[in-house]
Amino acid sequence: MTGDLLGRRKSALAPSYRLFYDDPIEIVRGAGVFLYDADGREYLDCYNNVASVGHSHPRVVEALTKQASTLNTHTRYLHHSVIDLAERLAVKLGGDLSSAIFVCTGSEANDLAVRIARTVTGHNGVVVNDHAYHGNSTLVDQLSLANHPPGERVPDWIGVAEPPNTYRGTHAGDDAGTAYAEDVRRAGQQLSDSGEGVAAFLVDSTWDANGFLNAPVDYLSLATRHVHDLGGLVIADEVQAGYCRTGETWWGFEDYGIVPDIVTLGKPMGAGHPIAAVITTPEIAASFAKADSYFNTFGGNPVSCEVALAVLDVIEDEQLLDNVDRTGAILRQGLDQLSRTHDMIGTIHGKGLFWGVELVTNPETKEPVPESQVNAIVSDLCDRGILTGINGPHCNIIKIRPPLVFGEAHAVRALDALDGSLGSFARQGGTRADQ
Ligand SMILES: Cc1ncc(COP(=O)(O)O)c(C=O)c1O
């Protein structure tokens, strides 16, 4: 059956799509942190942040079915759900971030956020970190250097700042935050000098596509100051970082003590249902509205909003932020332990329930383990019933980013499997374990 699907998929879907793992799996059901394949095999999901409150959470499913069987329209009629959602997100975000526009994907959110920043500042240029990923619209794809080969010419309106990587980047020590922020200033200044100006610095505070970076704590506050001095706005792309993902706080930008001008939300908002948002200050929203209008057919529809409200309820009622802190500490400790027993682990990136295990062939030279070998390990983990992914510019980082309901027993199971897989891989000299 899976073989048949593979063949049909190949002819029915465009080849731009790709599948995970050497032996792709056919998932037919999900519950909590588990996924099940067509043969009934259970997998521990250590990868999917979109199913933020767990797969098929009963409260989310109930909210969806109840609203879908009552009404689904759009934002041009009065409906309480879109207002309830905007109000609750405003409380969570705090400060002046209280004016929302709902869309369907993170890409749409970032696309709109850049459009707002350009309209409000009158500038055209956007600064991004190298090898960031912000989405797939034509505009946002250009800003997502992770999508483009190194060395490809970047459009004149984009300023590229070095990601704040203290393991592999240019700067490490105490002044790394200042130095990396200076690179944001340099990229912005170049845009100003060339006449593009700085409309925004678009930043993902997990630096997901870079394999998750723990940036120097002062990086974003210093970078924000530079961007504001150049007349630009700061857009916090919280599509990965938001919704308790990194623990301690609801939002990634809070870890760095900044208040962005615009925030974009996506993935975890609907626990698998497509809903995303742009949230900004009333002043910026009003200034945009004077110059431009915006309508999104599906964004903010009552079904999506009821789903997103249920997600907020579950996170609060099940105290998932505390769970992220508890389980995150266990993962941190376990991964540190593994890094002491496996030379192949160069460093551990991450926080909360988002970890990157960076694999190197030699800890001194930091030479990345080749992608084919990392793929073999990740496929071996899948054989062991553990779903992870691959990340980073060198594709040498194992990505662990489970649903927020991931608990201690799940963490222990994942760590044991990783231990087994790395050990087996090292013994077999770089081939997929047990082959
Ligand atoms: C940081 C970040 N921003 C934006 C996006 C785009 O979101 P979507 O795939 O919902 O368009 C992604 C998707 O992976 C992302 O990781």
How many residues can be counted in the chain? 435
DSSP state of 125: E
DSSP string, 97-119: --EEEEESSHHHHHHHHHHHHHH
Question: For ligand 1, is residue 373 a contact (CB within 6 Å)?
Answer: no
Mutate to test the pocket of ligand 1, among 17, 48, 50, 107 (most ligand atoms within 8 A of CB): 107
Residue identifier of the C-alpha nearest atom 15 of ligand 1:
134
Mean per-residue pLDDT of the chain = 96
Question: For ligand 1, is residue 240 a contact (CB within 6 Å)?
Answer: yes
Domains of the chain with bracketed CATH: 2-53+319-427 (3.90.1150.10), 59-317 (3.40.640.10)
Amino acid at position 153, single letter: R
Question: For ligand 1, is residue 310 a contact (CB within 6 Å)?
Answer: no
Question: For ligand 1, is residue 106 a contact (CB within 6 Å)?
Answer: yes
Cα–Cα distance for residue pair 428/435, rounded to 1 Å: 9
Residue identifier of the C-alpha nearest atom 13 of ligand 1:
135
Q: In the numeric block, which tokens belong to residue 254?
A: 């809070």
pLDDT given for residue 1 in this prediction: 62
Cα–Cα distance for residue pair 21/382, rounded to 1 Å: 7
Cα–Cα distance for residue pair 311/243, rounded to 1 Å: 10
Helices (H) and strands (E) in the chain, counts: 14, 16
Task: Count Cβ neighbours within 10 Å for each residue of 187-222 and write b for 16 or more, e otherwise.
Answer: bbbbbbeeebbbbbbbbbbbbbbbbbbbbbebbbeb
Residue with tokens 């081939």: 431
User: Is residue 46 within 8 Å of residue 350, measured between CB atoms?
Assistant: no
Closest to 46 measured CA to CA, from 357, 345, 274, 325: 357
Look at residue 312 and give its three-state secondary structure.
helix
pLDDT given for residue 433 in this prediction: 43
Write out the E strands in 198-331.
Answer: 198-203, 233-237, 262-265, 276-280
Question: For ligand 1, is residue 237 a contact (CB within 6 Å)?
Answer: yes
Look at residue 192 and give its three-state secondary structure.
helix
Residue 8 CA, distance from chain mean position: 31
pLDDT given for residue 430 in this prediction: 59
DSSP string, 400-423: E---TT--HHHHHHHHHHHHHHHH
Helix residue spans in 276-395 (DSSP H): 282-291, 302-317, 320-341, 371-383
- 3-state class percentages of the chain: helix first, strand second, coil last, to nearest 5: 45, 15, 40
User: Is residue 38 within 8 Å of residue 28, measured between CB atoms?
Assistant: yes
CB-side exposure of 397: number of CA atoms within 13 Å?
27
CB-side exposure of 129: number of CA atoms within 13 Å?
31
Question: For ligand 1, is residue 252 a contact (CB within 6 Å)?
Answer: no
User: Is residue 114 within 8 Å of residue 139, measured between CB atoms?
Assistant: yes
pLDDT given for residue 181 in this prediction: 98
Count CB atoms within 10 A of the CB of residue 141: 17
Residues of the chain with pLDDT under 70: 1, 429-435
